[in-house]
Amino acid sequence: MKFALASSPFGRKMFKTPDLMRLVILCLLPGIFVQWYVFGWGNLIQIAIAGLFAVITEAVIVAIRQRPVLPTLRDNSALLTGVLLGISLPPYTPWWMTAIGIVFAILVAKHLYGGLGQNLFNPAMVAYVLLLISFPVHMTSWAPPEALMQNNVTLADAWSMITTGFSIDGYSLHQIKIAVDGTTMATPLDTLKTDLGHGLTTSESMAKPIFGTFAGYGTEWVSFAFLIGGLVLLKQKAIGWQIPVSFIAGLFLFALIGYLGDPDASASPLLHLFSGATMFAAFFILTDPVTASTTVRGRIIFGLLIALLTYVIRTWGGYPDAVAFAVILANMCVPLIDYYTQPVVYGSKKA
Amino acid sequence: MSQLDDVTSNDAEPMDGSKEAKTGLISSESKEIILQGLWKNNPGLVQLLGLCPLLAVSSTVINALGLAIATTAVLVLSNWIVSLVRHHVPKEIRIPIFVMIIASLVTCIELVMHAYTYDLYLSLGIFIPLIVTNCAIIGRAEAFASKNTPTLAALDGLMMGLGFSLVLLALGAIREVLGNGTLFHGAQALFGNLFGDITVHVFTTESTFLFAVLPPGAFVVMGFLIAVKNIMDKKA
């Protein structure tokens, strides 16, 4: 009789890589849907472009490396990287920037390190950071939520913006961004940061139309939808609870300390949690099984570390949001964290 | 000093004391030195010495060329002088003496650049004085020049310098094309009005690819260069 040997963890239900990746993409759908509802077609097109280039790049590199192409593509990991990047990018990023980012992610961040399972850094975040430091103007040009915009951006407009830089009627991104009251808008985190720099108080800044009930107008609901999708992922036991919980709790705690210390000059904890990439990253970026810490204690440290770095860079750094930088910095620490948090093997140490 | 020890054990031993008869124009000894410096033991691609200036100033070809010339000049002269005085230097304090020789040479070069290529002097900034700390130079002084005749030492300095320069130029060219879409931008800083503006516009873009110009881009491009060299060595 032959017994099949499998390595730990001996889960009751084993996820195969393609199933896991598909589940993650399915759980992203509520967030993507709300993002579409609030911001229009831009991100859907970005997801399509990034996904397409991701799959093509993956196929070419795998063929060059003389590995089986179709089984590799079928694990959906490249597609997932593309989807994650497409969600993260500003909606009207020119298509070639998206392409550069995703090709760099798959080629350099993933395959040069040895492919799926070997990469040190989260490929989607590497692409995002590459684009952010290369094209700061485009990468911080977020259009405001559609309800606040003067011009209505149709699907054809969005496609035209991404491929040519101008809408069908010939408006540039800068003109499209003009809001109902004739001012241009940045993201909530960016607006707050600029206003605080100009001497406004938090409550004065948050009276602007870009802010909603408790965080950014529209963006709070996008974050909320990602939270729902993430909870499904958690319920399905596709990800462990440690990273999302420690990250969100950590960010809440650090933001609370800052807020209680100086409520007029710092963002509220709720704004931190429901703005920018917090919720999306907590469940879908940080929990990447390859680049995150693998031990239980290590995951808690990993989440807290990213929370601290995110808070520090958001508050005192040069960029309004910081999750991508924080994730990459924490990725570097993962081997160290894992080394010092290895569980003791039962019986190897006296109690 | 562990870096230097590695270098010493790599290449200096076979050179030591071998007195082969000269055959033809270039002796086999010189041939080996040329091959070592330019390819097999290239300071940039194989020894990975002097990476700090290599990565920092290679954002344009002209900056790279300026530093390449300065470094090569220092390398040739320092190797030559170290080799000349090698029998008079007490073994125990040889490193400080080598450093003093190199530092004097770098000061000379710095003053020359200050006088004749002021724009380049400004754009290279701190990296001219920092040539003193370039490990490739002290490494060659210790590993080769202090054990060989002045002629061979100078040749070694020249070849190591050229090897370093080639990497610097390749890096500069790739980064300038990727980052700005130009080549040889700002040639006047180095050549004065000798050639005029010889900027080559490879492509024009409104949004430059800043990553290639910034330090992380230098590391990535450098990694690719090393990879290409390793592939070529593997195939040969």
Tell me the backbone φ, ψ of residue A216, rounded to 5 degrees: -75, 145
**What distance lies between CA A326 and its chain's CA centroid?**
11
- Nearest CA distance, A147 vs chain B (angstrom): 29
Mutate to test the interface with A, among B175, B178, B207, B230 (most CBs of A within 10 A): B207
The 3-class SS string of B1-19 reads CHHHHHHHHHHHHHHCCCC
Q: What is the dihedral of CA A117, A122, A126, A129, to 10 degrees?
A: 180
DSSP state letters, A26-86:
HHHHHHHHHHHHHH-SHHHHHHHHHHHHHHHHHHHHHHHTT--HHHHHHT-HHHHHHHHHH
Q: Which residue of A has its CA nearest to B206?
A: A135
Which residues in chain B are closer than 8 Å to A137, comparing Cβ atoms? Answer: 207
pLDDT score for A247: 95
- Reported in sequence order, the residue ranges of B67-211 that DSSP labels E, i.e. its strands, are 182-183, 200-201
**What distance lies between CA A160 and its chain's CA centroid?**
25
Q: What is the pLDDT along chain B (236 residues), one digit of tens a residue?
A: 344 444 444 444 444 444 444 445 677 888 888 888 888 888 888 888 888 888 888 888 888 888 899 999 999 999 999 999 988 888 889 899 999 999 999 999 999 989 988 888 888 888 888 888 888 888 888 888 888 899 899 999 999 999 999 999 999 999 988 888 888 777 777 776 666 677 777 777 777 788 888 888 889 999 999 999 988 888 87
CA-to-CA dists, residue A114 to A67, A118, A119, B17, B167, angstroms: 12, 5, 7, 45, 26
Mark yes or no for CB contact A133/B220 under 8 Å. Answer: no
Mutate to test the interface with B, among A61, A134, A325, A329 (most CBs of B within 10 A): A134
pLDDT score for B24: 58
Q: What is the pLDDT along chain A (351 residues), one digit of tens a residue?
A: 566 666 665 555 667 888 888 889 999 999 999 999 888 888 999 999 999 999 999 999 999 988 888 888 888 889 999 999 999 998 888 999 999 999 999 999 999 998 888 899 999 999 999 999 888 888 877 777 877 776 677 888 888 888 887 877 777 777 777 666 666 666 788 888 888 888 788 877 877 777 877 777 878 889 999 999 999 999 988 888 999 999 999 999 999 999 998 888 888 888 888 888 899 999 999 998 889 998 999 999 999 999 999 999 988 888 878 899 999 999 999 999 999 988 888 787 765
Q: Where are the domains of chain B?
A: 2-8+51-164+173-235
A108 part of contact set with chain B, CB < 8 Å: yes
Mark yes or no for CB contact A134/B220 under 8 Å. Answer: no
The end-to-end CA distance of chain A, in Å, is 39
pLDDT score for A8: 62
Which residues in chain A are closer than 8 Å to B211, comparing Cβ atoms? Answer: 130, 133-134
Please identify which residue in the block is written with the tokens 């071998």.
B18
pLDDT score for A182: 60
Mark yes or no for CB contact B207/A138 under 8 Å. Answer: yes
pLDDT score for B7: 44
What are the residues of chain B with a beta carbon less than 8 Å away from any beta carbon of chain A?
207, 209-212, 214, 216, 220
Q: How many CB atoms lie within 10 A of CB A347?
A: 7
Mark yes or no for CB contact A135/B207 under 8 Å. Answer: yes
Q: Which residue of B has its CA nearest to A137?
A: B207
Chain A / chain B CB contacts < 8 angstroms: 19
Nearest CB neighbour to A133, from listed B207, B210, B220: B210
Which residues in chain B are closer than 8 Å to A94, comparing Cβ atoms? Answer: 207
Which residues, in sequence order, are bridge partners of residue B201?
A: B182
Q: Is A344 helix (H, G, I), strand (E, B) or coil?
A: coil
pLDDT score for A45: 93
* Cis amide linkage into residue B216, ω under 30° from 0: no
A100 part of contact set with chain B, CB < 8 Å: yes
Q: How many CB atoms lie within 10 A of CB B199?
A: 15
- Nearest CA distance, B7 vs chain A (angstrom): 28
